Amino acid sequence: MASETSLQVTVPDMDCSSCVRAITAAVQGVDPHATVAADLQSKKVVIGGDAQAQQFIEAIREAGFSVTPS
Amino acid sequence: MASETSLQVTVPDMDCSSCVRAITAAVQGVDPHATVAADLQSKKVVIGGDAQAQQFIEAIREAGFSVTPS
């Protein structure tokens, strides 16, 4: 099944691979099958999954990271 | 009121200040008034709050970090 939502955001304080794991855990707390591709250099995160974009963004914020539009 | 629980754990993959924020968010998701003191060099985290130690540990694990006894 194709993912309902695909979004790209910037997470400026994503500084290391443990941050990427934390962000992935937050996103997959919303949708366990969501995909997360993160680039530490550009701070960009691409998310695909079956929930609304705002739900993914809120989960990342609740995990302690700021999120800005990409 | 004194905190019910005080525990010290090691979070080996806590690598930067954003990790500390993520761990703090996870702990405070269990108890909003919990205190978190983290040392990036030793990877030790001291938590004080009104929940069971295991609840704090589980929240940190669900946030994508491993936790070992200190």
Question: Best residue in A15, A19, A58 to probe B by mutation, most B CBs within 10 Å?
Answer: A19
Q: In the prediction, which pLDDT does B4 show?
A: 85
Nearest-CA distance from B24 to chain A in Å?
A: 8
What is the mean predicted confidence (pLDDT) over A25-34? 97
Half-sphere exposure in the Cβ direction for B65 (13 Å, CA): 33
**One-letter-per-residue 3-state SS of chain A:** CCCCEEEEEECCCCCCHHHHHHHHHHHHHHCCCCEEEEECCCCEEEEEECCCHHHHHHHHHHCCCCCEEC
* Placement of tokens 């990271």 in the chain: A65
Q: Please give the average per-residue pLDDT across A43-67, as a whole number.
A: 97
CB pair distance less than 8 Å for A22 and B19? yes
The domains of chain A are located at 5-69
* Tens place of pLDDT per residue across chain B (70 aa): 556 899 999 999 999 999 999 999 999 999 999 999 999 999 999 999 999 999 999 999 999 999 998 7
Q: What ipTM was reported for this prediction?
A: 0.85
| Chain B neighbors of A18, CB-CB under 8 A | 13-16, 19, 64-65
Sign of CA dihedral B66, B4, B21, A67: positive
Determine the average pLDDT of the residues in A44-59.
96
Considering the entire predicted model, what is its pTM? 0.90
Protein fold of A5-69 = Alpha-Beta Plaits (3.30.70)
